Chain A
Amino acid sequence: MRRISSDEAHGFPPDVWYMLEPNMKVTVRFFASHREATGCASYEADVPHGARAADVLSQLCETFPRLQPLAHNAAFAINQTQVAPASPLHDGDELAVLPPMAGG
């Protein structure tokens, strides 16, 4: 299998990523409307090396089609720190997909 850099992999659609590099394990956390749409609070995702937070959400929308209409205004946290959608993930990370917050 040919190895390529994560930047190069980014030019490919998600459905061919599995051919490029071995996958990473990411623990995804869902909350509120997202948790109800997916039916799970926590999900172990296999994602390609170099995947970014927003890429994982796109992949999850294929796994959980009911997540798709809620995905547009999601924010992200990696290991409990809020990050930009383009932030890269590493093996073993916890990725939280955050619906619009409404505390208080």
Chain B
Amino acid sequence: MSAVFLVSADPIAEETVSALVSTPDAGGVVTFVGRVRDNARGRSVTALEYEAYAEMAESVFAQIAAEASARFAIKQAAIHHRKGKLEIGEIAVVVAVAAAHRGPAFEACAYIVDQLKTRAPIWKKEFGADGAVWVEEHP
């Protein structure tokens, strides 16, 4: 069974992450899947490269999930994020949240995704027709 909070060089499967949180008492499981898009800020993107301070990122994931548990009535959250070079359409991040009911699961999932963009030590380089740039903003 893979770790609940993980930075991975290997491809991420949505079902793997949602299985980590699915328990018999959880009636609502919300899964967010972030994929590599072919454009950003009006320019075309051909690939992304993620770099991570993995050991810190995994502890930040755990901290954000603990905050989500304190704010919303959820049972369990799992966060997996890729590192390395990804092609268009590949999964960059999966956040799965389980709760007894759907409301807290949706809210907690949105909270976790918003927080990890600015607090997890992960960086992305966009490759396009006119070269490669490190992204320094949070759309």
Do A and B pair up? The answer is yes
- A residues near B, CB below 8 A? 29, 31-33, 35, 73, 77, 80-82, 96, 98-104
Instruction: Assess whether B125 is in contact with A32, with CB atoms less than 8 Å apart.
Output: yes
Q: When the two chains form their complex, are residues B124 and A102 in contact, meaning their CB atoms are under 8 A apart?
A: yes
One of B17-25, B67-75, B96-104, B113-121 at the interface? B113-121
Cβ contacts under 8 Å, A101 to chain B:
117-123
User: Can you sample 6 A-B contacts with CB below 8 Å?
Assistant: A31-B53, A31-B121, A101-B121, A102-B134, A103-B50, A103-B122
Closest approach, in angstroms, between the C-beta of A71 and any C-beta of chain B? 13
Pick the contact of A104: B53, B59, B113 (CB < 8 A): B113
Q: Knowing that A32-B134, A100-B137, A103-B57 touch, tell me 12 more A-B residue pairs with CB under 8 angstroms.
A: A29-B53, A31-B121, A32-B125, A80-B53, A80-B59, A96-B121, A98-B53, A101-B121, A102-B136, A102-B138, A103-B52, A104-B116
Q: Which of the four size classes fits the interface of chain B?
A: 20 to 34
- Docked complex Cα distance between A102 and B52 (Å): 10
Report chain A residues within 8 Å CB of B52.
Answer: 103
Majority-rule SS of B interface residues: mixed
* Docked CA distance A98–B121 (Å): 7
Question: Looking at A29, A99, A103, which has the most chain B CB atoms within 10 Å of its CB?
Answer: A103
B residues touching A (Cβ–Cβ < 8 Å)? 34, 50-53, 55-57, 59, 81, 92-93, 113, 116-125, 134-138
Query: Would you call B34 and A104 a contact (CB within 8 A)?
Result: yes
The secondary-structure label for the interface of chain A is mixed
CA distance A32 to B123 in the complex (A): 6
List the B side residues contacting A80 at CB < 8 Å: 53, 55-56, 59
